[in-house]
Structure 1
Amino acid sequence: MDSKIVFLYSCNEIANQLGDFKIYEKGRRLKKVASDKDIFFEITFQTGFNNHSSHIMINPSMAIYSTSLKKWQIENIKSEFCTGLIYANHIGYITPLQTWKKWNLAGLSHEKSISEIVKNIQKFVLPIFEIFDAKETAVEFLKNKGTKFNPYCEDSLGPLAFLLCHTDHETSELFFNHYIENSINKDKIISFFEKLKTDKEIDLNHSEFVDAAHIKLAFINNLSLK
Structure 2
Amino acid sequence: MSKKPREIFLKGCNEIAEVLILHGFKVAQKGQTVSKRPNKDITLQVYFQSSHYNDENSVTIIPHITVYSKAVKTFDIKAYKNEYCTGIVWGKQLCYILGAEYKIWNLAKTSYARTVSEIQKALTDTVLPLFDVFCKSPGEIIEYGITQKLDISLSYFLVFGGKETAERVFQTKINQCQYKGQYMKLYNTLLNMKEDNIDPKYNEFVGAGEMKMAYLQGLRLR
TM-score by shorter chain over 0.5: yes
Is the 8 Å Cα contact of residues 167 and 220 (structure 2) preserved in structure 1?
yes
Query: Are the equivalent residues in 2 in contact too, given 1:32–1:40 (CA < 8 A)?
Result: yes
Per-residue Cα deviation, 1:110-151 (whole angstroms, up to 9, x for no partner): 11111111122222222221111122211112233432xxxx
Q: 1:91 offset after TM fit, Å?
A: 0.8
Matches within 5 A, 1:26-37: 26-34=30-38, 36-37=39-40
Letter in 1 for 2:175: E
Residue 58 of structure 2 corresponds to 55
Give the CA deviation at 1:45: 0.5
Classify the secondary structure of the residue corresponding to 1:61: strand
What's the CA shift string for 1:35-61, capped at 9, x where partnerless? Answer: x32111100001111212221111111
**Structure whose residues are more often helix by fraction:** 2
1:77 aligns with 2:80: yes
Task: From the superposition, tell whether residues 15 and 122 of structure 1 become closer, same or farther in structure 2 (CA, over 3 Å).
Answer: same
| Further displaced range: 192-201 or 5-14 | 192-201
Is 1:160 aligned to residue 154 of structure 2? yes
Distance 2:42 2:124 in 1: 19
| 3-state secondary structure, aligned to 2:126 | helix
Q: Where do residues 124-163 of structure 1 align in structure 2 (5 Å cutoff)?
A: 124-134=126-136, 135-147=138-150, 156=151, 159-163=153-157
Alpha-carbon shift at residue 83 of structure 1 (Å): 0.6
Gaps (5+ residues) in structure 2?
A: none
Identical aligned residues as a percent: 32
Report the AA paired with residue 212 of structure 2.
K
In the alignment, structure 1 segments of 5+ residues that lack a partner are 148-155
Give the C-alpha shift of residue 175 in structure 1: 1.0
CA-CA distance at 1:93 after TM superposition = 0.9
Aligned to 1:104: 106
CA distance in 1, matches of 2:219, 2:72: 19
Contact 1:146-1:178 at 8 Å conserved across structures: no
Select which of 105, 112, 115 maps to 1:113. 115
Q: Choose which of 188, 206, 209 in structure 2 pairs with 1:210.
A: 206
2:221 aligned partner: 225
In structure 2, give the amino acid aligned to 1:181: N
Q: What TM-score does the superposition give when structure 2 sets the normalisation length?
A: 0.91
Q: Does 1:186 align with 2:180?
A: yes
Instruction: After TM superposition, give the deviation of residue 169 of structure 1 in Å.
Output: 1.0
Using the TM superposition, name which of 20-29 and 114-123 deviates more. Answer: 114-123
| AA partner of residue 84 (structure 1) | G
**Alpha-carbon separation, structure 1, partners of 2:81 and 2:221:** 25
**SS class of match (2:206):** coil
SS at structure 1 position matched to 2:141: helix
Aligned residues: 215
SS of corresponding position for 1:17: helix
Q: Distance in 2 between matches of 1:144 and 1:47?
A: 34
* 2-structure distance, mates of 1:17, 1:219: 42
Displacement of 1:75 in angstroms is 2.3
Question: 2:139 touches 2:160 (CA, 8 Å); kept in 1?
Answer: no
